[in-house]
Amino acid sequence: MNDNQKRFLATLAALLAKMAKADGAVTDDERELIANAWRRMGLTQEQCEYCTTAFKMAQDDGVPINRYVKEFVTTQFAIYTRAFLYDLMWDVACADGVLHPHEKSILSAIPEALGLPPDSFDMGYARHIGTHRLIVDQELEDEKRKAEEARRKREEERKRKEAEEAARKQREAEAAKRKAQEEARRREEARRQTRMNTPSERLRMAYETLGCPASASDDEVRAAFRRSAMRWHPDKLRTDGVPEELVKNANEKMAAINDAWNTIRRSRKIK
C-alpha cells in the first residue's frame, strides 16, 4: 500500500469506529458488518488487517469524530466517496437494531461536514427505519406506543365509519390528483426531451459539464476540459487511494466530460 491508500483506509476505519462506539460499546454485529464492508470493497488481506488495526486503535483514542471527518474531506473530494462513507456509518449505527440518540445526533450533523445534500439524513433515516424497523429512542417509542394503543381502543368503534368514508373520499381525490400529476409529468417530460434534443441545449449542457461559460475563449475552454479530466481520471483517483470498486464509478463522469469537450470543439471548430 502507498501512503495515500493508508491515509484513506485509516481515516475510513476511524470514522466507522467512532460510529460503532457512539452508543458506548462496539457489538459483534457491528464488527461483523464492518468486516464484511472491507470484503465488499475488494480490499486485500493486508488492507483488511490494516483497517482492523486502525479500527481498534480509534475506538478509544480520544480524538473527536469531527477531526476525522475533516481529514476524510481533505483527502476525498469525490461526492460519491463521501456518500459511500455516510451509508456505511448508517449501516454501522443500525447494525444492532437500535438507533440511539447519540448515533442519531452524529448522523444528522455529519452530512453538512461531508458536503452531502441537505436531505441525506432524512433519506438514510427513512431507508433504515422502513427496511429494518429500528427502535428509535427506545423509551420514548415505548411510551408513545402504549399511549397510542390506549387511545385506539377508546376511539376505534366511534371513528370506524367516519374513517371509512374519509378514506373513500381521500382515495378518489388522490386518484384524481395522481392522474393530473401524471398528465403534467408527461407533458413536462415531452418538453424536456424536445429541449435536450436541440443543438443549442446540448451545447449549453456541454459548457455546464466543463464548468465554464459560453463566453470563454478557446484556450479557457480547453483548460476547463483538462482540469475536469485530471480531476476525474481513474488513475488520479487511484493515486488518491480510492478503492478500485469506487474508481469504476468515475468512468461515467469521464465519458460525459469527453462528450462535452467534443461537442464544444465541433461547435467552435477547435482542432
Mean pLDDT of the chain: 83
What is the Cα–Cα distance from 153 to 174, expressed in whole angstroms? 29
> Fold for domain 199-268?
Helix Hairpins (1.10.287)
Rg from Cα positions in the chain: 25
What is the Cα–Cα distance from 241 to 7, expressed in whole angstroms? 8
The predicted pLDDT at position 213 comes to: 92
- The domain segmentation of the chain, as residue ranges, is 3-136, 138-192, 199-268
What is the Cα–Cα distance from 11 to 13, expressed in whole angstroms? 5
Amino acid found at 14? A
Longest dimension (CA), the chain: 79
Strand-pairing partners, residue 136, are 99
Q: What is the CATH number of domain 3-136?
A: 1.10.3680.10
- Per-residue pLDDT at 132 exceeds 80: no
The predicted pLDDT at position 141 comes to: 64
Q: How many CB atoms lie within 10 A of CB 35?
A: 14
Write the pLDDT tens digit of every residue in 20-74.
Answer: 888 888 888 888 888 888 888 888 888 888 888 998 898 888 888 888 888 888 8
pLDDT band at 224 (very low <50, low <70, confident <90, very high): very high
Query: Is residue 232 a contact partner of residue 254, using CB atoms and an 8 Å limit?
Result: yes
The predicted pLDDT at position 195 comes to: 61
Strand-pairing partners, residue 98, are 135
Task: With 0.75 as the threshold, say if the pTM is over it.
Answer: no
The region that residue 211 occupies, defined by phi over 0 for left and psi between -120 and 50 for alpha, beta otherwise, is left
Average pLDDT over residues 138-166: 79
Q: Which of 5, 61, 58 is nearest to 238 (CA)?
A: 5
